[in-house]
């Protein structure tokens, strides 16, 4: 859910992605050399998110493709929708399995359950190390102090949360920035009409989860488009 009347000044897509990747590059990754990376991919599946969910279904395979040479990546899909619906898939190693599960989801109106996502991430990393959490959403309707406590605990356990915000809800932006900051992750807004921008963001975090900063820099060398410009900005810091 989101309030279309609340607007913030729009930022350029390139600047937002550049700022996000600069923060990703500074985030330490905790991963044993023999382990595959583990990434929780959490999404708001309330009614307002349906168009972006469909886009994510089409581009999710890139998260796996970009990490093959790094030893691979296991991804767990989490989402909430409706009045109290929350689901977490098994850990998936193939893009087809993730796409099938995402394609079966129907977005249903309801309140946000971001706290449930963060609690789930804490439980998962207590059982076996999770390298990163991605959350994609457009609004926040929960007590922010509770979310901040959970985000800080994830940070203490070395699990950064990378938050991608669709739209310009100022309440959500404030909360999302705090969640990302307290966990040691990063925040980035994105344009709901740009599937390529979302694909680049998801790929960047997947590569980070699988191989850390060096792997992210290598991704920039291999891909065209915006990557070389972003890397030049990263190296200035």
Give the tens place of pLDDT for each residue, 42-69.
999 999 898 888 888 888 888 888 788 7
Burial of 85 (0-12, 13-18, 19+ CB in 10 A): middle
Range 183-200 average pLDDT: 80
Q: What is the pLDDT of residue 228?
A: 43
Q: Is 166 helix (H, G, I), strand (E, B) or coil?
A: strand
* Predicted TM-score of the model (pTM): 0.81
Q: How many CB atoms lie within 10 A of CB 4?
A: 9
List pLDDT tens digits, range 151-166: 999 999 999 898 989 9
What strands lie across the sheet with 161-166, from one edge to the other? 85-88, 73-81, 37-44, 132-137, 161-166, 186-190
List pLDDT tens digits, range 96-112: 999 999 999 999 999 99
Range 2-17 average pLDDT: 47
Cβ neighbors of 224 (< 8 A, separation 6 or more) are none
Lowest mean pLDDT among 16-25, 95-104, 202-211: 16-25
Fold of 35-236: Rossmann fold (3.40.50)
The DSSP code sequence of 125-154 is HHHS---EEEEEES---S-HHHHHHHHHHH
Q: Is 92 helix (H, G, I), strand (E, B) or coil?
A: strand
């Amino acid at each position: 859910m989101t309030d279309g009347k609340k607007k913030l000044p729009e930022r350029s897509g390139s600047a937002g992605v550049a700022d996000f990747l600069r923060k990703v590059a500074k985030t330490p990754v905790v991963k044993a050399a023999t382990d595959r990376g583990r990434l929780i991919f959490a999404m708001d599946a309330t009614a307002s998110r349906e168009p972006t969910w469909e886009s994510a279904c089409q581009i999710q395979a890139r998260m796996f493709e970009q990490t093959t040479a790094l030893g691979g990546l296991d991804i767990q899909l989490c989402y909430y929708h409706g009045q109290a619906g929350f689901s977490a898939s098994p850990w998936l190693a193939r893009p087809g399995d993730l796409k099938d599960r995402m394609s079966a989801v129907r977005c249903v109106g309801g309140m946000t359950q971001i706290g449930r996502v963060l609690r789930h991430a804490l439980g998962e990393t207590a059982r076996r190390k999770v390298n990163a959490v991605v959350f994609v959403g457009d609004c926040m309707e929960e007590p922010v102090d509770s979310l901040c406590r959970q985000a800080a605990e994830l940070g203490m356990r070395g699990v950064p949360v990378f938050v991608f915000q669709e739209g310009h809800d100022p309440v959500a932006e404030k909360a999302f920035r705090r969640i990302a900051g307290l966990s040691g992750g990063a925040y980035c807004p994105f344009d709901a009409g740009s599937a390529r921008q979302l694909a680049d963001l998801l790929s960047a975090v997947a590569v980070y989860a699988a191989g850390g900063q060096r792997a992210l820099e290598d991704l920039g060398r291999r891909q065209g488009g915006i990557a070389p410009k972003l890397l030049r900005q990263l190296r200035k810091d």
